[in-house]
Structure 1
């Protein structure tokens, strides 16, 4: 109907390519335009000025011989002032962009190991964008941005990489566990040493108290009973304690059999042994 009344409508964000008897005349902006077709004017085609996106999947090999699929996302649009170049100079802009992406990725990725590809994907995207910008600007296209959106190694390689990572983490966990056990053993040994030290200190104090008590008993007995020597009093006290001990052993409900030499001579020997032990302990404390 528009062609019948020699009027055409160009939508927003679109340019129309006007030809006059088959020759390019001008690019029509959005709005209503009069094209008297009887004078050889017509619309040869339309171009969208909106930003378009092209996803390109490229298979290549890394420096360490790992095959990967690299997915690049290219965002581009037609320059309004160069719509004629975009319309007439390229028959298939998508294929052209795809060819440049293949060329740059297959030149960049084989220089890197698989781990470096993941780390330097932004550098790869920048290289693709720079190359596309130089190439496509001559055809009236503006490259807005290029992104490396995915890097897919072979499934076996991904499984191996995951196993390497898991093994490294297990090794780190084992190391931390061993360090924790080492700390526990050290603390346990320090606790046992402190416990034994305190137990020994308690025994030493107990023996000191026994010695002090015996000394006080000897002095008190010597003062109250004239003519007795300290040795006599000490022998009597030790013999008394010896019999008290025998009594306690016999009276205990869970007492086991204890064989001790018993007799007048044995009592004297026991007294001598007790005396020597207490004196030795006293010397050790001092």
Structure 2
């Protein structure tokens, strides 16, 4: 086989193979013939006329994202950087417009984002920028949709993903936030201390009440015991004065015995001689006698008054 024939055969095979090409899924290919638009080809095995048709370019039909950082000033003269994420895609039916009408879609989208953000943010205070970031995103999406639809691009969603004020402003905001938290903490601590004081006062009042009630009950029982002791002594012929004196002397020596038995008690000096007990008894008898005399005098005066009234 002559060499020229082999060369022609090889060239023919290469030309035939170059006539076939593959377009991937979610991709559109633009075919031109002699520099003029011919057709749009979608995913699969495609054919073109060799040396006549060529693939001018391919466009992805997937959703893409462009992040744009815009620096602007708020209504209260605070410089702030906003990061706006724009999600967009090429409309399948408008691949021609997307390929031929717009060379640099990223630059076009970025310009519109700058325009909208710098028109909206200067109307707001810094705090409002954080609160109304969704309103900014909606304004950007609306403006982009109106502009980019003509060029074959659909704006899926716009998001304000970051708001970064000036460093000094952030430091001031952090100080304000810290001061507010310290203020709240101080209020809670004050409320806690107030509750503790109130509860402590209530507990002390209840303790005093119970202590007083206990003392009253103790004295009531002591009085009842003394009354019963006097009644028992009266039954054996001892009058009330003598019985009371005897009880007092007995309690005196019982107290001395209890103090001596308790090793942990502090030293208390009490009269403990027989003469001291005798003096105590004589004083008590004299007191009881005087009390009886006063009582009899008051009774006679009361009866005399009744007689005069009658």
Question: With structure 2 as the length reference, what TM-score do the two structures score?
Answer: 0.75
- In structure 1, list runs of 5 or more residues that go unmatched: 277-286
Query: Is the 1:77–1:142 Cα contact (8 Å) retained in structure 2?
Result: yes
Cα distance change, pair 246–54 in 1 and its aligned pair in 2 (3 A): closer
Q: Distance in 2 between matches of 1:161 and 1:270?
A: 84
Q: Distance in 2 between matches of 1:262 and 1:79?
A: 121
Q: Distance in 1 between matches of 2:282 and 2:125?
A: 92
Q: CA deviation at 1:143?
A: 1.1
Query: Is the 1:61–1:109 Cα contact (8 Å) retained in structure 2?
Result: yes
Show the counterpart of 1:80. 92
Match of 2:244 among 234, 241, 245: 234
Show the counterpart of 2:308. none
- In structure 2, list runs of 5 or more residues that go unmatched: 1-10, 292-310
Query: Is the 2:245–2:284 Cα contact (8 Å) retained in structure 1?
Result: no
Q: CA deviation at 1:44?
A: 3.4
Query: Is the 2:75–2:126 Cα contact (8 Å) retained in structure 1?
Result: yes
Q: Distance in 1 between matches of 2:246 and 2:68?
A: 109
Cα distance change, pair 204–244 in 1 and its aligned pair in 2 (3 A): same
Show the counterpart of 1:34. 48
1:15 counterpart = 2:25? no
Query: Is the 1:75–1:145 Cα contact (8 Å) retained in structure 2?
Result: yes
Q: CA deviation at 1:150?
A: 1.2
Query: Is the 2:85–2:161 Cα contact (8 Å) retained in structure 1?
Result: yes
Q: CA deviation at 1:137?
A: 0.2
Matched residue of 1:26: which SS?
Answer: strand
Matched residue of 1:255: which SS?
Answer: coil
Matched residue of 1:213: which SS?
Answer: helix
Greater Rg by CA? 2
Aligned-residue Cα RMSD (Å) equals 3.1
Show the counterpart of 2:183. 171
Name whichever of 260-269 and 13-22 sits farther off.
Answer: 260-269
Q: Distance in 1 between matches of 2:212 and 2:143?
A: 84
Query: Is the 1:10–1:28 Cα contact (8 Å) retained in structure 2?
Result: no
Q: CA deviation at 1:251?
A: 7.8
Q: CA deviation at 1:162?
A: 2.0
